[in-house]
Chains A and B, each alone.
Chain A
């Protein structure tokens, strides 16, 4: 068989090394099961159909969800002219921005400390870091609500931000730590041997190398916070409520085209944010893609 030819080992030209990192022999067409292809196609169809429906009917000129009767922006006008909804939108953006800034800072520092410090309780720290990622949101939401009422903190946008930061720190730390683990600590040592202080080394050597991961993680947190419903639901005050909480109350009264417009708008924000998270690390002049950074892999 020809697979032996692609076995890595002999150092080839640079281009060859890049392509040969994962020697996948080109799939031959008779190898490709028709069934899998059709299955995957149907999967993507079902995956996107409901979303496409929401987007399409957000531009419908009538209330109907069955007939598209013509293009119109009236549901978007409804959305933006409604003062309460506008306040909610602004609140959601504020929450997401604040969460992004604080969680990215804390999470990055935590990642650095976890990788570089040798502490006795690092196992416990690791658990404290990873458990929030696998805890159902309702558990975290209920406990946050209990904490805020016990310490007498009135529910408001502040409590939402506090709750959002809590679940976001772990995402940032995991993404940044994966990146940090692939850095050679010798480079930092070299900088310090050359007279840089520890802080200078961190700022001039470590941080620049971490930028793609930090940017990607920050944008991921923005998207997660902007979209979050459950944590916000348990920690929100009366008004203004973030957009997803608003949508929740509205859906329970039935399907209205305005929700299509809000949903399409939120979807656009999320897609742009995630698109940036994938593209920005590339634009910052790195070879790796943001997708790989987010998935914690070296080559993606």
Chain B
């Protein structure tokens, strides 16, 4: 009992902090999204649905859909690029495994803005590639530039869980696949892929969630035609000064992402239970 009180006493400050500075603000966000602005642009609480109607209005709906589309394209590219790399490191990395995985992680600790900026320096009109090619190819301000920026930004979140899944997998399983006359493709299709699918799904969620909400890539690498919901939200808070509408857009996005979060957290909890058992 005494031990109980000691443990609870220790967890209380952190738990309260998260409650007051994370959960409560989400509540405020939700409350304000039903509000409106007065003539001075101040946000007033209310019970209106206008902001949500506006969010799905034909002017803004394409932006929401584009965000999901870009994020999905990012996920697919991350799997296509990340899986082979994770596979090579996990299976053939040998004693360099840790070094290689550290090299994968390292660039992701370089500031995201600086990394995105680096692509402008590479691909911009006066960038290195156009200098080397000695012509003027327009790479930036295209959807692919934004998707490329997102892939470059979040790829590590895909590689790490796939790598972890491959690393945990008993190599004897692949050997068995080969012993049973499975070709490389069949062994991959029926043994390796199903075994690492949880890792791929974890990576999918970990990439998809931040990619949907990103506004840096679209702002720096794209133009207004590539704007995502993050740009729209940011505009409502800093340029348009329509906080209730910005809050409603954020709420819509969060509600959509919540489904993915729940799936991910349940899978993570199941894995933790299995690891404990």
Contact = CB atoms under 8 A, between A and B. Distances in A.
Nearest to A290: B102
B110 A291 contact: no
Interface in A39-78: 39-40, 43-44, 47-51, 53-54, 57, 65-67
A80 interface: no
Query: Interface on chain A toward B: helix, strand, loop, or mixed SS?
Result: helix
Nearest to A47: B107
Interface string B83-122: 0110111011010001001111111011111110111111
B268 A116 contact: no
A198 B3 contact: yes
B253 interface: yes
Interface in A1-49: 1, 3, 22-27, 32-33, 36-37, 39-40, 43-44, 47-49
Given A26-B94, A142-B250, A146-B29, A109 B14 contact: yes
A146 B247 contact: yes
Interface stretch (B5-13, B47-55, B58-66, B192-200): B5-13
A149 B164 CA distance: 42
Nearest to A165: B17
Interface stretch (A83-91, A93-101, A133-141, A209-217): A133-141
Which of B3, B14, B124 has most A Cβ within 10 Å? B14
B4 A117 contact: yes
Interface residues of B, number: 99
Given A36-B92, A278-B102, A146 B12 contact: no
A40 B104 CA distance: 11
Contacts of A138: 213-215, 230, 233-234, 250
A127 to B, nearest CB: 7
A128 interface: yes
A229 B115 CA distance: 12
B15 A198 contact: no
Given A50-B118, A107-B14, A142 B113 contact: no
B183 interface: no
Interface string B144-173: 000000001000000010001001000110
A48 B92 contact: no
Q: How large is the interface on A (under 10, 10 to 19, 20 to 34, 35 or more residues)?
A: 35 or more
Given A53-B128, A125-B15, A244-B111, A229 B3 contact: no
B111 A227 contact: yes
A110 B19 CA distance: 13
A263 interface: yes
Interface in B224-257: 230, 233-234, 237, 243, 246-247, 250, 253-254, 257
B109 A271 contact: yes
A270 B81 CA distance: 25
B118 A223 contact: no
Contacts of B2: 198
Contacts of B102: 278, 291
B17 A169 contact: yes
Contacts of B25: 140, 143-144, 146-147
Which of A127, A146, A165, A170 has most B Cβ within 10 Å? A146
A278 B81 CA distance: 26
Nearest to B127: A65
Interface string A118-161: 11000001111111101111111011111100100000000000
Given A39-B85, A138-B213, A54 B175 contact: no
Interface string A275-300: 00010000000000101000101001
B269 interface: yes
A251 B22 contact: no
B94 A162 contact: no
A241 B233 CA distance: 21
B185 to A, nearest CB: 11
Contacts of B230: 136, 138
Nearest to B268: A130
A215 B112 CA distance: 24
A-B pairs, top 3 by smallest CB distance, nearest first, are A113-B11, A136-B213, A66-B131
Given A50-B115, A137-B210, 17 more contacts: A3-B172, A49-B122, A51-B110, A109-B10, A109-B11, A109-B14, A110-B14, A118-B4, A128-B19, A128-B23, A136-B210, A136-B254, A139-B29, A165-B17, A170-B18, A227-B110, A266-B114
Interface of A: 1, 3, 22-27, 32-33, 36-37, 39-40, 43-44, 47-51, 53-54, 57, 65-67, 106-107, 109-110, 112-114, 116-119, 125-132, 134-140, 142-147, 150, 162-163, 165-166, 169-170, 173, 181, 198, 223, 227, 229-230, 234, 244, 247-248, 251-252, 255, 259-260, 262-263, 266-267, 270-271, 273-274, 278, 289, 291, 295, 297, 300
19 contacts: A36-B88, A43-B81, A43-B85, A109-B13, A110-B14, A117-B11, A134-B206, A135-B257, A138-B215, A140-B22, A142-B250, A166-B21, A223-B109, A255-B124, A263-B114, A263-B118, A267-B111, A273-B109, A300-B98
